[in-house]
């Protein structure tokens, strides 16, 4: 028999699954005949804790740990270990001169590309590359009469004089917008009427440059795609060599290796008669392949029952190759298999909530009614609820949230006859970013205890910049320097970097030529001169970790800049540096990469990302979302090709449309996960984004929801109400 259970949030899916297993045990089914598989270690441990008093021989595993039991002659590495190996290979490769140009090409996107690169490598994919197109440009010099007329204009016209006709990127930066359109106002109407001849020449020039921009964009897109593709293949080969040398298998290797018909494997699996899969909506294609092949192999010889529990509305791990469409596709595949094999296939739906009040559930249903996942929940709990929506500017929202926490301390819970404690409150955020540090800092300043600070500091941009300075100053890491110089403080562009490295190698640079006005060269020379002063200063800092960062943060201009703009992040980093307090730099870099600032209190509020909140519940949930979602996706992997943005590329636009749609659907599922964590009260603090738009469309006529808007409410939004 195959049982497929669709279980909404709070519907008691774990309880239902546990009761099924307990029922089997009362029928004298042996524990070793039951395999329980969960997506996460936490869920697996939860299942084990509920059942171990009934049987200590039940097999509890994640997909990964189960596969690990099948082979003894190699070392199986998990996703975290695999990630660490690949990152180290990438870091070493980027020190090689052959790949320095890749960093220049992709510097703006590099930080966001690393995870995608690792994901492709872990899937053992060989990237296809094409021959690069050529691009030619013959400089068009402004006629003297045009330059003279521009000088006679006002500020808007005089900006055009700065165009370096020999530098096509300089031209585009002045006359084109970021989305590839010609700027609407490059000169005033009055100037154009007075200098008609110059206006006509400029219009013709802008039209030509607009066409050239399209050509150049396509050239750059293919160049970046091929360069990154070659790099990924290079890292892929290095990774394979490492695994072969050290006899390692990662998860993808294991999937290819697993052969359930192999006699040694068969001996280990044939005793299994019942397979339970929890959190099934989060499994990837590869993980599903393992579990379905396991089931079918056992079923072909012995009777085996399969029990699957999941909820497509809670699939929020698409970045780990779990696709929402996959969930329904697997369900249809199993239906077909059951029919062909004459096996009973039954479906169950769990929509009654044993967590939330009806007020909360009505809010959930109305919110989800405008999505692909309409719901109808019924509460089994008998207490009141409350929902508040706050929309304002980010800083004002944070103060409103803190004030709300303080106010709630004087109130009683609806579900219990007791005052609200801090640990009754769960704050959910969208991502680990600077806002997280700001939230934590201001909450602590308000005297509110935090149960745990869960955020990794390594992924903060300001911290990355501090680490890059250390890597360059101490280890001459030029990749780290290159990444550093593109930030808002230094503001180097591609030409500056090219000139800097060519000058260091004593080779001619394209920045210098006969027709160049030399203004760009002078600017680059000035930047290099200022940088050299900083480098000399950094290299004079003490070499021990605490004193080095103490000098950098508190004495240098750059440190003062970071303290002014990212105080909370830098403060947490400085505390971590002092906690480490050792002299081994290599160990320090590893330490900081895996470090998270943990602040514990017996009675403190909880702060989690939405992704890490799955399976949790709290009487009061506060959602703080100050991220204005955008559809700027910097790279796609498609059909074994790397594809970078290119406005006029039909393939890119097609994939972008699909990816944008999928991203919007995932945002809807994230919203569902967030708002279903609450038992009795939800307080949402949001700027204008997907969350705000979705909720307002659904709740504008809902009298049960308190809506509070601040100064960020626009005329367009007022029309919604």
pLDDT at 631 over 60: no
Asked if the model's pLDDT at residue 494 lies above 80, the reply is: no
Task: Report how far residue 396's alpha carbon sits from residue 272's, in angstroms, rounded to the nearest whole number.
Answer: 57
pLDDT score of 630: 55
Residue 385 has a pLDDT of 93
The answer to whether 631 and 660 are in contact (CB under 8 A) is yes
Residue 626 pLDDT grade (very low, low, confident, very high; cuts 50, 70, 90): confident
pLDDT-derived band of residue 718, with 50, 70 and 90 as boundaries? very low
pLDDT value at residue 515: 42
Q: How confident is the model at residue 691 (pLDDT cuts 50, 70, 90)?
A: low
Report the C-alpha gap between 638 and 358 in whole angstroms.
44
Instruction: Pick the more confident residue, 113 or 242.
Output: 242
Q: Counting beta carbons within 10 angstroms of the beta carbon of residue 225, is it exposed (0 to 12), middle (13 to 18) or buried (19 or more)?
A: buried
Is 569 annotated as ligand-binding? no
Stronger pLDDT, 169 or 683, i.e. the higher one: 683
Q: What is the pLDDT of residue 709?
A: 46
Percent of the chain with pLDDT over 70: 87
Q: Is 456 strand, coil or helix?
A: strand
pLDDT digits (tens, 9 = 90+) for 194-232: 999 999 999 999 999 988 998 888 888 888 889 899 999
* Tokens 């499994």, located at residue: 283
Distance, CA of 280 to CA of 308 (rounded, Å): 7
Mean pLDDT of the region 381-407: 88
Asked if the model's pLDDT at residue 622 lies above 90, the reply is: yes
Confirm whether residue 10 is marked as ligand binding.
yes
69 is in an annotated binding site: no
Q: Is 136 part of any known ligand binding site?
A: no
Average pLDDT value for residue range 74-92 = 82
Is the model's pLDDT at 275 over the cut of 70? yes
Q: What is the DSSP letter of 211?
A: H
Q: Residue 719: what pLDDT? A: 33
pLDDT band at 717 (very low <50, low <70, confident <90, very high): very low
Residue 299 sits at φ, ψ, to 5 deg, of -65, -30
Q: Give the C-alpha separation, 670 to 611, whole Å.
A: 8
CATH fold, domain 365-449+604-718, is Rossmann fold (3.40.50)
Distance CA 707, CA 45 (A): 40
The reported pLDDT for the residue numbered 500 is: 80
**Can you tell me the distance from the alpha carbon of 383 to that of 379, in angstroms, rounded to the nearest whole number?**
10
The CATH number assigned to the domain with range 2-74+253-350 reads 3.40.50.300
pLDDT digits (tens, 9 = 90+) for 512-543: 443 445 666 778 888 888 888 888 999 889 88
> What is the reported pLDDT for 583?
66
Instruction: For residue range 426-444, list pLDDT tens digits in order.
Output: 999 987 766 777 888 888 8
Find out whether 8 is annotated in a ligand binding site: yes
Q: What is the pLDDT of residue 95?
A: 79
Distance separating alpha carbons of residues 232 and 125, to the nearest angstrom: 9
The answer on whether 9 is annotated among ligand-binding residues is yes
- Supply the pLDDT for residue 45: 85
What number of CA atoms fall less than 13 Å from residue 154's CA on the CB side?
10
When pLDDT is cut at 50, 70 and 90, the band that residue 392 belongs to is confident
Which residues in 454-477 are b (16+ Cβ under 10 Å) and which e?
A: bbebbebebbbbbbbbbbbbeeeb
Residue 716 confidence (pLDDT):
34
Reported as a single tens digit per residue, the pLDDT across 132-187 is 778 888 889 999 999 999 999 998 888 898 888 888 888 888 898 877 788 888 99
pLDDT tier for residue 87 given thresholds of 50, 70 and 90: confident
pLDDT surpassing 50 at residue 276: yes
Q: Which carries the bigger pLDDT value, residue 297 or residue 478?
A: 297
Distance between CA atoms of residues 270 and 35, nearest Å = 11
- Span of 297-301, 537-541, 545-549, 657-661 with lowest mean pLDDT: 657-661
- pLDDT tens for 499-509 read 787 776 655 55
Q: Which of 17, 69, 60 is nearest to 41 (CA)?
A: 60
C-beta of residue 435 within 8 angstroms of C-beta of residue 626? yes
Confidence of residue 708 (pLDDT cuts 50, 70, 90): low
When computed from its CA atoms, the radius of gyration of the chain, rounded to whole angstroms, is: 30
Among residues 586, 583, 592, 587, the alpha carbon closest in space to that of 545 is found at 583
Calculate helix-pair angle for 358-368, 690-699, nearest 10 degrees: 110
Residue 337 backbone class (left: φ over 0; alpha: ψ -120 to 50; beta: rest): alpha
Among 690, 675, 695, smallest CA distance to 610 is for 675
Residue 182 three-state SS: strand
| pLDDT tens, residue by residue, 335-363 | 999 999 999 999 999 999 999 999 999 99
pLDDT, residue 79, reads 75
422 vs 387: CA distance, rounded Å: 18
pLDDT above 60 for 714 = no
305 Cβ contact partners less than 8 Å away, ≥ 6 residues apart:
1, 2, 3, 273, 274, 275
Phi then psi for residue 477, to 5 deg, are -85, 100
What is the per-residue pLDDT for 487? 77
Average pLDDT of every residue of the chain = 83
End-to-end Cα separation, the chain, in angstroms: 51
Task: Tell me the mean pLDDT in the region 63-86.
Answer: 79
Backbone phi and psi for residue 712, each to the nearest 5 degrees, phi listed first:
-85, -5
Q: Give the confidence band of 395 by pLDDT, cuts at 50, 70, 90.
A: confident
Q: What is the pLDDT of residues 444-483, one digit of tens each?
A: 889 898 887 655 666 677 888 899 999 888 888 878 888 8
């Amino acid at each position: 028999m195959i049982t497929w259970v669709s279980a909404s949030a709070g519907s008691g899916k774990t309880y239902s699954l546990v009761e099924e297993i307990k029922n089997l045990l009362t029928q004298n089914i042996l524990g070793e005949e039951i395999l329980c598989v969960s997506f996460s270690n936490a869920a697996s441990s939860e299942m084990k804790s509920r059942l171990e008093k009934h049987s200590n021989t039940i097999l509890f595993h994640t997909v990964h740990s189960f596969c690990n039991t099948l082979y003894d002659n190699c070392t199986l590495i998990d996703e975290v270990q695999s990630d660490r190996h690949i990152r180290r290979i990438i870091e070493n490769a980027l020190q090689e001169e052959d790949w320095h140009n890749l960093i220049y090409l992709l510097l703006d996107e590099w930080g966001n590309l690393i995870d995608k690169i690792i994901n492709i490598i872990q899937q053992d994919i060989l990237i296809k590359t094409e021959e690069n197109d050529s691009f030619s440009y013959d400089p068009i010099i402004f006629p003297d009469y045009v330059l003279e007329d521009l000088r006679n204009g006002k500020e808007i016209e005089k900006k055009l004089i700065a165009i370096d006709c020999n530098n096509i990127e300089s031209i585009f930066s002045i006359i084109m917008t970021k989305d590839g359109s010609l700027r609407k106002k490059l000169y005033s109407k009055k100037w154009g009427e007075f200098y008609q001849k110059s206006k006509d020449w400029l219009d013709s020039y802008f039209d030509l440059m607009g066409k050239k921009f399209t050509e150049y964009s396509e050239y750059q897109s293919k160049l970046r795609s091929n360069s990154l593709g070659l790099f990924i293949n290079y890292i892929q080969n290095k990774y394979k060599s490492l695994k072969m040398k050290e006899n390692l298998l990662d998860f993808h290797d294991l999937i290819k290796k697993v052969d359930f018909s192999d006699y040694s494997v068969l001996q280990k699996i044939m005793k299994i008669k019942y397979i339970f899969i929890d959190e099934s909506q989060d499994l990837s294609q590869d993980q599903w392949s393992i579990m379905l092949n396991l089931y079918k192999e056992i079923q072909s010889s012995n009777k085996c029952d399969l029990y699957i529990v999941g909820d497509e509305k809670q699939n929020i791990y698409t970045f780990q190759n779990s696709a929402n469409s996959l969930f329904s596709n697997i369900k249809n595949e199993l239906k077909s298999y059951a029919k062909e094999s004459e096996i009973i296939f039954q479906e169950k739906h769990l929509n009654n909530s044993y967590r939330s009040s009806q007020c909360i559930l009505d809010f959930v249903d109305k919110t989800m009614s405008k999505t692909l996942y309409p719901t109808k929940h019924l509460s089994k709990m008998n207490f009141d609820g409350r929902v508040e929506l706050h929309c304002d500017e980010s800083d004002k929202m944070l103060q409103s949230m803190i004030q709300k926490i303080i106010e709630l301390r004087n109130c009683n819970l609806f579900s219990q006859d007791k005052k609200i404690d801090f640990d009754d409150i769960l704050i959910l955020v969208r991502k680990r970013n600077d806002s997280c540090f700001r939230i934590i800092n201001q909450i602590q300043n308000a005297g509110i205890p935090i149960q745990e600070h869960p955020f990794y500091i390594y992924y903060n941009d300001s911290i990355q910049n501090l680490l890059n300075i250390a890597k360059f100053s101490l280890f001459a890491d030029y990749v780290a320097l290159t990444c550093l110089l593109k930030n808002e403080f230094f503001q180097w562009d591609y030409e500056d970097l090219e000139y800097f490295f060519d000058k260091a190698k004593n080779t001619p640079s394209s920045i210098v030529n006969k027709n160049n006005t030399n203004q760009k060269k002078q600017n680059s020379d000035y930047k290099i001169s200022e940088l050299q002063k900083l480098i000399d200063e950094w290299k004079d800092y003490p070499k021990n970790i605490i004193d080095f960062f103490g000098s950098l943060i508190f004495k240098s201009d750059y440190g003062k800049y970071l303290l002014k703009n990212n105080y909370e992040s830098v403060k947490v980093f400085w505390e971590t540096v002092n906690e480490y307090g050792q002299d081994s730099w290599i160990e320090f870099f590893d330490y900081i990469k895996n470090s998270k600032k943990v602040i514990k209190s017996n009675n403190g509020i909880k702060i989690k990302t939405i992704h890490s909140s799955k399976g949790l519940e709290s009487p009061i949930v506060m959602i703080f979302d100050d991220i204005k979602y955008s559809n700027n996706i910097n790279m796609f992997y498609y059909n074994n090709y790397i594809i970078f943005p290119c406005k006029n590329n039909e393939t890119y636009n097609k994939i972008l449309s699909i990816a944008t749609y999928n991203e919007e659907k995932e945002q809807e599922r994230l919203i569902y996960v967030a708002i279903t964590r609450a038992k009795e009260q939800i307080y949402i603090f949001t700027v204008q984004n997907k969350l705000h738009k979705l909720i307002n469309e659904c709740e504008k006529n809902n009298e049960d929801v308190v809506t509070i808007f601040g100064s960020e409410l626009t005329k367009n939004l007022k029309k919604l109400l």
